Structure 1
Amino acid sequence: MFIAVLDDDPEIVRQLQLVLCELPVRGVDIRVDAHGTCHAFRQALRRSTYDLVILDWELPDGTGIELLSWMRLYLAALPPTMLLTVRNSEEDVVEALSQGADDYISKPLRPQELKARAMTVLRHHGRLPMPARAPQDCYGDICFDPRGQTVMRAGEQVAMTHQEWRLAHLLFSNIDRPLSRGYIYERIWGGEEHHSTRTLDVHIYRVRRKLDLVAERGWQLAAVYGYGYRLRHFGIEELPETESGWEERWMDRSAE
């Protein structure tokens, strides 16, 4: 699980990292990236996917509220976000929530409260590994069996390696969400593979071919240029002409 912390106070950052790395998320490694400026955070979003973002309100080159507005404009999907600040008036809380924050944490930090609120936000956005409530997770005629790690397409089992199955399930669990190469490598290979290798590209090709993820079936598994991959599902008439539209739109509209 990737978490981003944005605060210019080293002691606050240290506390956040300690608390967040102790979140009770079974079977998942937690990585907390720390950033001290709005500029550094925006640059990180060009290459990383985050399951949770915690923003300080006051920063050297902007505010957490401004970053929330920026993310709403330039990202395909706003990541789960919590705002951290000494402000605690009703007006401040309303402003933070109205700008897209999922929750609001006041300083000084209370570790157990932070853990509880972070887990609630992660659970609300489906970022926590949950026990399968049904034997299969189905997406149209493609069904995954998490217990047996098998997948069926149109009623027939598809032969997949362990890593191909995990990659396919990750993509389907994040439909419409752009996933960075680094995020995918960490989730599937645990960082064992170097990010510049062709391992991911080869596995993407195999998943696309084996599950027949083509426009004629309403699927698009495409590279997001300079970032990673995204799986999308459309009605046939809705399929876009370009496979890298998210990156082009994000790059065209972003401003430093």
Structure 2
Amino acid sequence: MKQYIYIKSLILLSGLLMLMNADLSAQSYLSERFKDVENVRVSIWNGKEVAHKEQKIHIKLREGVGLESVLGQSLLSADEKSPPNVLGWSVLRLDSSADLMDAIQLLRTYPDVLEAEPLLVGETGNLPNDPDLYRQWALRNTGQAPTNGTPGADISAQLAWNITTGSEDVVVAVLDTGIPLVQHTTTLSHPDLQNTNRIILGPNFSDSPGNVRDENGHGTHVAGIVGAETNNSTGIAGTTWE
């Protein structure tokens, strides 16, 4: 009974943390990420929040059509124009008085304009190669299947990993239902948790004699979130790589 109450308490605590995280996720991830980046703005584009260069438009015209012709039709004023690249895309920088999104919508109405969009901003990141990372929406939520969740409703693990991937000097105690072991042994049986330099088996306070073998699954789940081997092309990613 004590074990049941303990697990139930963990579930209730997890629920409270999820509710707290839902409130935090309402704040814009992109707005927070780029709030201090010069010349970058966060706006709604095609129903999604995007980061883009201020007053810059990415535009592609029909072959043989010049930018000056389209600007003349639209009466828009651009103080900087790049020539088309090998794929036919140019960049316009509108003067500060123009509304960027209105200008883009106007340009998209002209038949000579194949595409017009904000000049989007991307960034590289320290992303591990664990194949099941895409399932870990709590670490990195892009709205991916199978969860189909809310992009950015996560703990921003990738941003954290850009700063640090952890330290082997940090010790985390997991008080839970155990850890995966080979039956009747103390040999770790999960490939992501087999490194005995990372996992130190603690004392057994359950009614299962002899070892701390997980017969419930919850302890394995929690231990994996904390300490699964990361960037090893296997399974999930642990929050701390070291």
TM range (shorter): under 0.3
> Larger Rg: 1 or 2?
2
Structure 1 or 2: larger strand share?
1
Structure 1 or 2: larger helix share?
1
TM-score by length of 2: 0.21
TM-score by length of 1: 0.20
